[in-house]
A and B are shown apart, each in its own frame.
Chain A
Amino acid sequence: MSDFDITSKEIDGMAPHGTKVGLLRVLGPAHVWALGVGIVLVGEYMGWNFAVGKGGAFAALIACWFAGLLYTCVAMIDSEVTSTVAAAGGQYTQAKHIVGPLMAFNVGLYLVFAYTMLEAANAITVGFLIDTVAVMSGHEGLDQRPFIVLAIMFLAWLNYRGVLATLTFSLVITAIAFSAIIILFLATSPVFGGDVLRHEALMTDLPYGWLGVLAAMHFGLWYYLGIEGTTQAAEEVRSPARALPFGTLAGIMTLLIAATLTWYVCVGLMPWEYLGQAGVPLFDAARMSGSTGLMVLLGIGTLFATLASANGCINDASRAWFAMGRDHYLPSWFGAVHPVYRTPYRSIIFLVPIALIFALGAPLDQVITFSILSGLLEYTFMPINVILFRRKWPLHAIKRGYEHPFHPIPAIVLLSLCGVAYFAVFLGYGTQLVAMIAFYITVSLWFHFWRYRFVRRAAQFTMPWPRPQGY
């Protein structure tokens, strides 16, 4: 029998800092699913196909499945820890309670940059899609920038106004975008009478050999990057212990299916050399199917997927920034909740110009790489996190809402796959990898020797847990 039961309705982590105004607890498992899948589904609509360019069509499929294994480990580990740490900030709050303040500060920054860069990538894709449609309708030379700015500003406003409306909006448009992929598959698959896929003629050997398969892991992560964002809603779901594991695990299953279907349809319709550099591959696939209806549907699907993703990214990045402000890891001004809308409004507004700077000033593959690198650093933290969690609070010490099986195998597999992904990034983007880690080392020293003096010590530990073993 556990001494502490986080699944009890009496211990809900609400307003854990004694604030009078907390975030609203209004979300259910479907919203958690929509938050996770909504952020990630855009990865099927753009970006994943760069893995085809890195290693060929078969390499992208292998990368898709190995990245799927990596994210399955992420979802399992995350579901256990987050079903226990039910507070805003997700992995940031986990790190604060399990590893230590400096790790938490770094994890908070990983989250903010992974999501803000993903948001920027989404806005770039919105601009590119609208430009593609304009060219198809005979209007060359469209300025994409107003559409990029408009997309980010509109979604930031939606987030400012309230979490329930925001995630309900995400739920609807994510469901439509996911349905569009299924319809495209059904309409083109020979199983259902379609006659447009040409896998036997379009598939080639591995153009770079097995080194290309390793390199493809870099963008293979893009199929699923962001699913771990479900934990950011921990303080706003009605039943964290049930809704978070259910929504997260259902989300990764949805994405595994969507990723495989996307690969299957696209490589059967386009030469790999084109697919590997396409800006909107699913939209292109619909164009190649010869059906105007499918083309319109996948155009709408691409637009909705990018908006849902950017919407979820604003939600998650602002929660992480808010949580760090509330703990004084960042200026406490960011830790404010809007008195009417009950949202972290200052954090939402503050991150808008950062997203705009990168959306308007950096190429898509670079922005995606920044996001992937921050995500990769976060996934490397997760095995350390869960091993320390089990060591400091064994299963009998705290009751979990979900206990992941086969511990520590998922942690070891995750760490190994992260090693492969680092090598994949190194093969093409080593300079950015080193530059980003140099940034995190510098900012860590800044935090440890300067910023941490403003942080209360005991107040950081807000969970109703017993003393960790060994301390």
Chain B
Amino acid sequence: MAKYTPPVQGKLGQMIDVVVLLVMTIGSLYIPLWLGLAGSAHESNVPENPTWESLGQNAVMVEKWNQLGYADAASAAELISSRFDYSFSISSLLVMIVVIVGYYAIMLRFSEKEYREVIAEKFNQS
């Protein structure tokens, strides 16, 4: 196999490559934050005029809340009543599975093609 000689990349080209990579990275990680799509959905069912009993807290728990700086039930009610919403649709789960499996499939296929070139050049020339 003929030895591959890569083109020499100029300084401007190197800088552009770094900028492209940075824009893709920061963009993809920040877009969900900007759009408010990141993080778990919460639901809160704070009862009216909450008491420690209505929040399901026993005497030891109340003592610990007090130690933590929550003097009454009302101040801790939001924290105690907050729950994650784990509902999801099967279709969104299937999309996730397809995306993950598809990603690894693409990567392994392209990697294999590149790897065969590497091995052929490395071991056929020596």
**Interchain CA distance A428-B122 in the complex, whole Å:** 46
Q: Does A106 contact B (CB under 8 A)?
A: yes
Q: Does A328 contact B (CB under 8 A)?
A: yes
Determine which of A102, A104, A270, A330 lies in contact with B64 in the assembled complex, contact meaning CB atoms within 8 Å.
A270
In contact, B4 and A103 (Cβ under 8 angstroms): no
* Chain B residues near A331 (CB-CB < 8 A): 9, 14-15, 17-18
Contact with B along A405-432 (1 / 0, CB 8 A): 0000000000000000011001111111
In contact, B61 and A271 (Cβ under 8 angstroms): yes
In contact, B121 and A458 (Cβ under 8 angstroms): yes
**Interchain CA distance A208-B42 in the complex, whole Å:** 13
Interface centre among A435, A454, A460 (most CB of B within 10 A): A435
Q: Does A444 contact B (CB under 8 A)?
A: yes
Determine which of A269, A271, A366 lies in contact with B39 in the assembled complex, contact meaning CB atoms within 8 Å.
A366
* Chain A residues near B61 (CB-CB < 8 A): 201-202, 271
**Interchain CA distance A362-B61 in the complex, whole Å:** 32
Kindly report which residue of chain B lies nearest to residue A277, judged by CB atoms. Answer: B79
Q: Does A437 contact B (CB under 8 A)?
A: yes
In contact, B88 and A453 (Cβ under 8 angstroms): no
* Chain A residues near B112 (CB-CB < 8 A): 100
In contact, A458 and B118 (Cβ under 8 angstroms): yes
| A113-B25, A273-B79, A454-B6 known; A437+B99 contact, CB < 8 A | yes
How would you classify the secondary structure of chain B's contact residues: helix, strand, loop or mixed? Answer: helix
**Interchain CA distance A427-B83 in the complex, whole Å:** 13
Number of interface residues of A (CB under 8 A): 80
Name the interface residues of B60-96: CB closer than 8 Å to any CB of A: 60-61, 64-65, 67-68, 76, 79-80, 82-84, 86, 88, 92-93, 95-96
| A198-B60, A467-B119, A468-B119 known; A106+B86 contact, CB < 8 A | no
* Chain A residues near B6 (CB-CB < 8 A): 328, 453-456
How would you classify the secondary structure of chain A's contact residues: helix, strand, loop or mixed? Answer: helix
* Chain A residues near B40 (CB-CB < 8 A): 427-429
* Chain A residues near B108 (CB-CB < 8 A): 99-100, 103, 384
* Chain B residues near A454 (CB-CB < 8 A): 6-7, 9
Name the interface residues of B13-49: CB closer than 8 Å to any CB of A: 14-15, 17-18, 20-22, 24-26, 28-33, 37-41
Interface centre among A212, A432, A453, A457 (most CB of B within 10 A): A457
- Give, as a whole number of angstroms, the nearest-CB distance from A270 to chain B: 6
* Chain B residues near A106 (CB-CB < 8 A): 107
* Chain B residues near A429 (CB-CB < 8 A): 38-40
Name the interface residues of A436-460: CB closer than 8 Å to any CB of B: 436-444, 446, 448, 451-458, 460
**Interchain CA distance A467-B92 in the complex, whole Å:** 43
In contact, A434 and B96 (Cβ under 8 angstroms): yes
In contact, A444 and B28 (Cβ under 8 angstroms): no
In contact, B104 and A101 (Cβ under 8 angstroms): no
**Interchain CA distance A446-B28 in the complex, whole Å:** 15
In contact, A102 and B3 (Cβ under 8 angstroms): no
In contact, B111 and A102 (Cβ under 8 angstroms): yes
- Give, as a whole number of angstroms, the nearest-CB distance from B70 to chain A: 8
Kindly report which residue of chain A lies nearest to residue B96, judged by CB atoms. Answer: A426
* Chain A residues near B103 (CB-CB < 8 A): 437, 440-441, 444
- Give, as a whole number of angstroms, the nearest-CB distance from A462 to chain B: 10
Contact with B along A268-308 (1 / 0, CB 8 A): 01110110010000001001100000000000000000000
Q: Does A314 contact B (CB under 8 A)?
A: no
In contact, A362 and B28 (Cβ under 8 angstroms): no
**Interchain CA distance A170-B5 in the complex, whole Å:** 43
| A384-B108, A441-B103 known; A426+B38 contact, CB < 8 A | no
Q: Does A399 contact B (CB under 8 A)?
A: no
* Chain A residues near B120 (CB-CB < 8 A): 471
**Interchain CA distance A211-B88 in the complex, whole Å:** 12
Q: Does B57 contact A (CB under 8 A)?
A: yes
* Chain A residues near B88 (CB-CB < 8 A): 426-427, 430
Binding site for B on A (CB under 8 A): 53-54, 99-104, 106, 113, 198, 201-202, 207-208, 211-212, 215, 269-271, 273-274, 277, 284, 287-288, 328, 330-333, 354, 357-358, 361-363, 365-366, 369-370, 380, 384, 422-423, 426-444, 446, 448, 451-458, 460-461, 467-468, 471
Closest 3 CB pairs of A and B: A100-B111, A428-B40, A100-B115
Of the A-B pairs whose beta carbons lie under 8 Å apart in the complex, a sample of 21, sorted by A's number, is A99-B111, A102-B111, A103-B111, A288-B67, A330-B17, A331-B15, A333-B14, A358-B29, A380-B104, A429-B39, A431-B37, A432-B37, A434-B95, A435-B32, A437-B100, A439-B25, A440-B103, A451-B17, A454-B9, A456-B5, A467-B119
